[in-house]
Amino acid sequence: MAPLGNLLSNPKVTKIVHAGDYDIRSLNRDYEIEFNNVFDTSIAASLLGSKRLGLDAILKEFLNVEVSKDKRLQRSDWTNRPLSREAMAYAANDVRYLGEARELMIERLKEKGRMEWVAEECQRLASIRFEPRNPETGFLNVKGSKNLGSRELAILKELYEFREDDAIGKDRPPFKIVSDSVLVAIARDPDSDYGEIKGIGRWARSEMRNRLAEVIKTGRESKPIQRTRHQGGRRPHLTHREREAANQRLKELKQWRKNHGARLEVDPSLLWPTSSLNRLSRFPEALDSEYQEGDIRKWQFKEFGENIRSCLLELA
């Protein structure tokens, strides 16, 4: 893989990808490959205001090209070798129009003055590195786990580890064994009828039910798990009256963002992160320090910083 790695890391060669986050992360995980000089057509399309961001939709919108998306091939095991002619043709069609799409997108981005936006987003994408999760605390990242109690978390931990073992045994990604939502549903109500849980699949079979019963029993007998609260917050708690004012301020800030999104014909969430609006609603005087937060882009602050400052002053 070294020759490919050298190419992907070469800053003099532009790499055109579509929704490349997973590819960049995976190649870094498996081969320690690092990317430089990336152009992501999904990012560009989103900042041009496209409503649908799938590759087939993007090619239809920008080039009026229709690419057949065979569901069977989409879901096939692409680790099998050799690839069939049909699979190679499918893969080739996935990339054959990306260069042409990029050229047209760059023209439109320059017309709208948004080339700088995309350049920064693509630079952030290229800097992605794989970060392995701590196997001891990975279950705390399961979507929906934040709403579970301490005893339910103990059961979730055992279910999570059981899924990991099942995935390794079958050489499949954990999410293809069962989804996070299934784990949370069982942990929340371990005495329920598992067969009624959407997406539980083979885990509903009798032989798996017996194994699940053992896993749940272990979780019930384990020490309850307390989720660690974020410590060392930089600001004090708000009073009830301050929280009410913050909630109203957040509502107005989201409306401010929505108005700009409508004006620019772009998804409002792209213009300023919700996490920052939440912080500013609570502590509006801290706008200047927001620039130091990792979720704020330079282009966002440059484009909307003074505008949001005026908005906060009006809400004061």
| Tens digit of each residue's pLDDT (9 = 90 or more) over 64-104 | 998 877 778 887 888 889 999 999 998 898 899 999 999 99
Q: Where does 2-126 sit in CATH, by number?
A: 3.30.420.10
Cβ partners under 8 Å of residue 257, min gap 6: 268, 269, 271, 272, 277
pLDDT at 231: 44
Task: Enter the pTM of the model.
Answer: 0.79
Would you identify the CATH topology of the domain 240-315?
A: DNA polymerase; domain 1 (1.10.150)
List where CATH 3.30.420.10 sits in the chain: 2-126
**Mean pLDDT, rounded, of the chain:** 92
May I ask the CATH class of domain 138-221? mainly alpha
Q: Given this model, what pLDDT does residue 207 score?
A: 84
Backbone angles phi, psi at 86, to 5 degrees: -65, -40
- CA angle at 199 for the pair 196 and 201, rounded to the nearest 5°: 85
Give me the residue label for tokens 């083979």.
202
